[in-house]
Amino acid sequence: MGKQNQGTLELGVGFDPTYVLKFGNPSFRKGLNFTVRDGIKHANLSDRIGDTVGLADVKGNVIGSGCLVNVTVCSLIEIPDFVLKNEHDLECVKPIGLMHVLQTVYGRQFKPGDIITCVGFNLL
C-alpha cells in the first residue's frame, strides 16, 4: 500500500481507510502499536479486527495506516502489560506517563477505575 519513509507512510493511490484514529503525537513504531482512548467510544472497533484504519494528526490529516489487531476495554488500573509495552507514544509505556498524557489530551483527571479502550494495530 505504501512504503515506509523516516517514520511516516507514503499512502498509495486509492487509500480508503474504514476508520480514522486521530493522534496528538502521531509517532509510531514498526509493527504492533497500541493507543489508549478514554471511555468506550472506540470499543466498536472490535467488530473491525483485520480492517485497515487511517492514522491521522489532530487536524485529521491521514499520515499512515494500520491493520486493527486488538481492542481491549478495561479500567485504567487493569491495563494489560502488553498494551503499555507496545504503546505508540513512548511517554506512555509506564502508567504514570500514560496518566499524564491522558490528562493532558482529555483535559480531566483520571482515576484508576476509569474505563478505557486500548486499540492495537500493526503499522502498514
Instruction: Give the CATH H-level superfamily of domain 17-123.
Output: Sulfate adenylyltransferase (3.10.400.10)
Section 61-71 average pLDDT: 94
| Other residues' Cβ atoms within 10 Å of the Cβ of residue 15 | 16
pLDDT over 50 (residue 122): yes
d(CA 43, CA 55) in angstroms, rounded, equals: 17
Cβ contact 91:101 at 8 Å: yes
Cell of 43: 470499543
- Look at the block and give the residue holding cell 515506509: 4
pLDDT over 80 (residue 74): yes
The full set of domain ranges for the chain reads 17-123
Q: How confident is the model at residue 12 (pLDDT cuts 50, 70, 90)?
A: very low
Cβ contact 32:120 at 8 Å: yes
